[in-house]
Structure 1
Amino acid sequence: MEALLVLTDSERSQLTERLETVEVSPYEDYLAFSDRVSKLVIDGGVPERLLRAADRIREERSSGVSEAHVLRNCPVDEDLPDIGNEDPSAEKKSRKVTFIGEAFLELLAQITRTPLLSYANRFGGDFFIDVVAINKYLGQQTGYNGGEVVFHNDRTAHPVRADYITLLGMRCPPDDLVYTGFVAGRRLLAELSAETQQVLREPYFVTPFDVVSRDANTELDSTPSHPILSGVSSLRYLDTHTTAADDAPVEAKDALLALKNALTRVPKQRHRMQQGDVLTFANQSALHNREQIEVQDPTRALGRWLLKTYAFSDQAAADTHRDAWIDGIPGKVGD
């Protein structure tokens, strides 16, 4: 994907200096951390070109021109600790003493006006999540499996889902060809007949909870039947896992097969994440995956580290879930 903005080295250095002043840990006091970042915005500490890029992201999302955007040469912590693959989240919080990457993602969320979302039972309720291979999930269907991931929406089976996902490249082996793929929902629907789309709008389908969610919350069991398609182009789909419910009519299975075929045919966007890259894209109205085209060193590849945030489309979308806030923290929900 072509970058919407490549920060100059001077812009990145100046912004990094400002972000370094945010010394509050987002893992200990997210609200204070967020407030400190907002003061940088108010005080004029954001490059004008970045503000214009944020405006364009909002405009292109609203108009449907684009649901995926890339920024390059963004601020990343200079000294990144080794967080391993046993419990990367815990290792990060015990070893990482600067929060440049987190502050930049918070800043980007604020200037695009997309409030962040976190899950209380997932990685301690953190708003900044590490996409790193975790030993116990290797080879399983999750983003923490150290390998490829099929096309999906994040948190497919959950009642509160992010409208947008943002990834920041923290540590990316430069010689590996690993791509994040993206398919906009509207493009996928263009491959489907009106009759098929109508069947996909019925609650004939089921998607199991992912293994990470089940480990975090043992009360999660079966999921209710749901439509795959809702709204204009909102999807609820996990390839190879979303199936027709046992009592669904035969046309549901036909529609599911048509969707799978369309997903194979539809043109896709791909981006190879490098350190300092930001990829921000729609979650509900699109599908994304991970492809490993060529990996030079499988052991080194396990250290690939992206920092991720979930976000609502705007404050109004966040406010619809205000009754679900945990610990009085806006954006923090249960499972």
Structure 2
Amino acid sequence: MHTFAQTGHHLAEADARTMWELARRAAERRGEQSSGPNVNDLLLDIPSDLRAQLIEFSTGGSREGFFLIRGLPVGDLPATPSEHRTGGLADHGTAGLLTLVADLLGTLIGYEDEKSGTLIHEVHPVRGEEQRIENSGSVAFDFHTENVHHPLRPDFLGLLCLRQDHEGVAATRVASVREAYGLLPTAYQEILRRPVFRSAYPTSFARNIRGPRPSSGLHPVLFGHEPDLFMRFNSHTTTSEEPLAVAASKALAEALEQVCHEIVLSPGDLVVVDNHIAAHGRAGFTPRFDGQDRWLRRCYSLRSMPRWAERMMSRPRVVPALTDITGVL
């Protein structure tokens, strides 16, 4: 484990002002266009250095699997929510920031099965859910691929910090398979490439499902070849019935821990994670529920939506329900 390595971009004041103006315009369009916000013209005005670095990151060649933008404005903020809420900051400039970055990388998306298709997610503690392994909890959250169970997993996720936790200890933890792979014995590397694993639905997808949480079909944890290695893994929910595969999963989690980058996000920091290269997690913290608790906003980006899935969408940018697409991919 080590602290954050310098892979990213710190905005100059003039560029930060430019981004905020673009973000406000993007946020205004979210409510104006029934087909979803079209911000393509605004993307051309993103400061050129930042735009070029993000486009390069989007090609999938990163070794660390993340890119950190610092110095973004976050505007005036209300108290940190204390309960589940959607739409409270729908037209806020921070929604525009995330839309711009997600659309530069690919396309901003949501999931019909998760938070009713909301495109921008609020990540903050909720009283009574502190122990949940999801964005409403405050306990440590181990390494995971976002939406590991899903055939159309996001290519990227963005986490924008609006407020730190009170003690400044809630690090976002990011670990790349490309940095961890060489720490694994050959036998473990080989079995992690075999389709002998299943991944349970995360609790955010299973809140309204009665009985045991469903799981994905069989899949490998590792795929691709060096240097273009990729990963599909959740240390909480990815399991196998084969003893060697179980041991390999544990070894992978330990290897990811060894190469982990710990990033304590400050207000205005946006970390973008390549969801196929790096797993991410969170250090634990103690919420106070005083309106000043840790608060991030999250977005997903997908490089390309299959045409058939796009035609099945009930709303723009929202991936169809799993009951409609299970078995297609």
- The question of a shared fold, defined as TM-score above 0.5 by the shorter chain, is answered with yes
Correspondences of 1:1-335 after superposition (within 5 Å)? 1=4, 2=6, 4-22=8-26, 24=28, 26=30, 29=33, 31-33=35-37, 35=38, 37-42=39-44, 45-58=45-58, 61-76=59-74, 78-82=75-79, 84-89=81-86, 93=87, 95-96=88-89, 98-112=91-105, 114-173=106-165, 175-218=167-210, 221-223=213-215, 224-232=217-225, 233-245=229-241, 248=242, 250-264=243-257, 266-292=258-284, 298-300=288-290, 303-312=293-302, 314-315=303-304, 318-319=305-306, 322=309, 325-327=312-314, 329-330=316-317, 332-335=319-322
Structure 2 distance, partners of 1:208, 1:41, is 37
Cα distance, 1:321 vs. partner? 6.3
Does the CA-based 8 Å contact 2:64-2:278 persist in structure 1? no
Match of 1:177, SS state, is coil
Question: Could you say which structure has the higher helix fraction?
Answer: 1
Structure 2 distance, partners of 1:166, 1:30, is 24
Match of 1:231, SS state, is strand
Does the CA-based 8 Å contact 2:60-2:274 persist in structure 1? no
Match of 2:96, SS state, is helix
Q: TM-score if structure 2 supplies the norm length?
A: 0.83
Match of 1:178, SS state, is coil
Distance 1:203 1:14, change over 3 A: closer
Distance 1:6 1:199, change over 3 A: same
Match of 2:125, SS state, is coil
Q: TM-score if structure 1 supplies the norm length?
A: 0.82
Distance 1:157 1:8, change over 3 A: same
Does the CA-based 8 Å contact 2:134-2:141 persist in structure 1? yes
Cα distance, 1:14 vs. partner? 3.3
Cα distance, 1:323 vs. partner? 5.2
Does the CA-based 8 Å contact 1:209-1:220 persist in structure 2? no
| 2:270 aligned partner, one-letter code | V
Q: Note the aligned Cα RMSD (angstroms).
A: 2.9
Structure 2 distance, partners of 1:319, 1:127, is 19
Unaligned runs of 5+ in 2: 323-329
Does the CA-based 8 Å contact 1:19-1:100 persist in structure 2? yes
Distance 1:110 1:157, change over 3 A: closer
Cα distance, 1:286 vs. partner? 1.8
| 1:73 aligned partner, one-letter code | G
Structure 1 distance, partners of 2:91, 2:108, is 20
Please give the per-residue CA displacement for 1:111-156, whole angstroms capped at 9, x wherever unaligned.
33x2222101222212211112233532022232122211111112
Structure 1 distance, partners of 2:158, 2:90, is 22
Distance 1:11 1:323, change over 3 A: closer
Does the CA-based 8 Å contact 1:171-1:306 persist in structure 2? yes
Structure 1 distance, partners of 2:224, 2:96, is 33
Does the CA-based 8 Å contact 2:69-2:270 persist in structure 1? yes
Does the CA-based 8 Å contact 2:28-2:91 persist in structure 1? no
Match of 1:190, SS state, is helix
Cα distance, 1:32 vs. partner? 3.9
Structure 2 distance, partners of 1:38, 1:323, is 19
Structure 2 distance, partners of 1:304, 1:54, is 26
Structure 2 distance, partners of 1:153, 1:303, is 25
| 2:83 aligned partner, one-letter code | E
| 1:329 aligned partner, one-letter code | P
Structure 2 distance, partners of 1:200, 1:145, is 29
